[in-house]
């Protein structure tokens, strides 16, 4: 309904300009009206036919004017506070809120949101069932061959280390942990966090973190290993730490006084576009740049996370950079 109102308003303005001989303005509809009024004969006929006939003239000269394309947007239904389904079946979360703000800036599109599973989102965007999917995705070269990644990321996933509370004055950041020779819980090589630690070591030759490959294990094991002193820290996503330990109803809230956390950096997250939707991705980029410039992204980040995600992303980051 919102987009239809915008379309009707723009259409009425074009009609008024045609009948009033005010051949000015920059929109496609106004240009069509100007062309219609190019000769005195055309003007006379348009005026005598009334507003309805003039409107039909605008439509015939530019049949695409005023059309609104429906965009199917999929998002995960459980990943708070990024994307989730509300109790009444609606769509909410930081990334959802950003895409709704993007929608407001793109009158040619109408976004329809669908909460779903990870697998349905990924397969659906690839197949064209969905035009866009968002789930806190990190960029990888492999994914870039399957989906269109826009130029601008939508948010960030903050990664850091979880350690014993007694060490909070010692481990003020990841480099301090490395210099102290802290022992990190092993990470599976296929996990993107493994690459992050590898890149940290490349950039800090004098402050290396011993990186051990691991098999799969439960997060509860990592918490226990750190608490008992078997390891000194666990590489953890901040939202997981907050949901599992800090939250009063967190599954591992019993560790809240035993474990502490410090962020390392924000890893940009991206919406995924179907390979045939480059034009839509470009439109998204234009809207995101406006939302970043006017402070909307920072405001939404603080609303959903309590802090500005973008302040934790490395300065000058570009798509494809190693973090």
Mean pLDDT (whole number) for 254-277: 96
Q: What does the alpha-carbon distance between residue 291 and residue 272 come to, in Å, rounded to a whole number?
A: 19
Q: What does the alpha-carbon distance between residue 238 and residue 312 come to, in Å, rounded to a whole number?
A: 12
pLDDT at 11: 39
Instruction: Determine whether 9 is exposed, middle or buried from the number of CB atoms within 10 Å of its CB (0-12, 13-18, 19+).
Output: exposed
**pLDDT tens by residue, 121-170:** 999 999 999 999 999 999 988 899 999 999 999 999 999 999 999 999 99
**pLDDT tens by residue, 41-100:** 333 333 333 333 333 322 223 335 578 999 999 999 999 999 999 999 999 999 999 999
Backbone angles phi, psi at 62, to 5 degrees: -140, 80
- Please say if the pLDDT value at position 116 is more than 80: yes
| Edge-to-edge strands, sheet with 78-79 | 78-79, 83-85, 91-92
Q: Considering the domain 157-267 in this protein, what is its CATH number?
A: 3.40.190.10
**pLDDT tens by residue, 282-321:** 999 999 999 999 999 999 999 999 999 999 998 878 887 7
Mean pLDDT (whole number) for 177-184: 96
- Check if the beta carbon of residue 118 is closer than 8 Å to that of residue 75: no
**Cβ-based neighbours of 157, under 8 Å, separated by 6 or more:** 136, 138, 237, 238, 239, 266, 267, 269
Q: Please write down the HEC assignment for all residues of 196-256.
A: HHHHHHHHCCCCCCCCCECCCCCHHHHHHHHHHCCCCEEEEEHHHHHHHHHCCCCCCHHHC
Instruction: Determine whether 69 is exposed, middle or buried from the number of CB atoms within 10 Å of its CB (0-12, 13-18, 19+).
Output: exposed
Architecture of domain 70-156+268-312: 3-Layer(aba) Sandwich (3.40)
In the chain, pLDDT over 90 holds for what percent of residues?
71
Mean pLDDT (whole number) for 23-38: 36
User: Where are the domain boundaries for CATH 3.40.190.10 in the chain?
Assistant: 70-156+268-312, 157-267
């Amino acid at each position: 309904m919102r987009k239809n109102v915008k379309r009707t308003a723009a259409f009425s303005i074009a009609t008024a300009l045609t009948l009033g001989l005010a051949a000015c303005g920059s929109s496609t509809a106004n240009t069509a009206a100007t062309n219609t009024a190019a000769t005195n004969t055309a003007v006379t006929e348009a005026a005598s036919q009334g507003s309805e006939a003039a409107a039909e003239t605008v439509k015939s000269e530019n049949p695409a004017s005023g059309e609104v394309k429906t965009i199917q947007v999929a998002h995960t239904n459980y990943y708070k506070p990024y994307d989730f389904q509300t109790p009444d079946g609606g769509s909410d979360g930081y990334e959802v809120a950003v895409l709704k703000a993007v929608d407001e800036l793109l009158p040619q599109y109408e976004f329809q949101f669908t909460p779903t599973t990870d697998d349905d989102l990924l397969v659906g965007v690839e197949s064209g069932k969905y035009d866009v999917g968002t789930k806190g995705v990190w960029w990888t070269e492999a994914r870039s061959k399957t989906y269109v990644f826009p130029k601008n990321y939508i948010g960030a996933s903050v990664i850091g280390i979880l350690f014993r509370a007694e060490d909070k004055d010692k481990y003020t950041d990841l480099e301090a942990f490395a210099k102290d020779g802290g022992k990190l819980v092993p990470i599976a090589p296929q996990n993107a966090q493994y690459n992050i630690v590898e890149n940290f070591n490349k950039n800090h030759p004098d402050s290396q973190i011993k990186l051990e490959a691991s098999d799969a294990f439960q997060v509860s094991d990592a918490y226990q290993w750190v608490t008992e002193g078997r390891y000194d820290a666990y590489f953890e996503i901040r939202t997981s730490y907050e949901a599992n330990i800090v939250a009063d109803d967190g599954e591992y809230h019993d560790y809240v006084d035993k474990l502490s956390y410090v962020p390392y950096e924000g890893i940009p997250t991206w919406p995924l576009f179907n390979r045939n939707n480059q034009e839509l991705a470009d439109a998204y980029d234009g809207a995101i740049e406006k939302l970043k410039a006017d402070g909307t992204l920072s405001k939404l980040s603080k609303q959903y996370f309590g802090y500005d995600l973008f302040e934790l992303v490395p300065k000058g980051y570009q798509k494809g950079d190693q973090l």
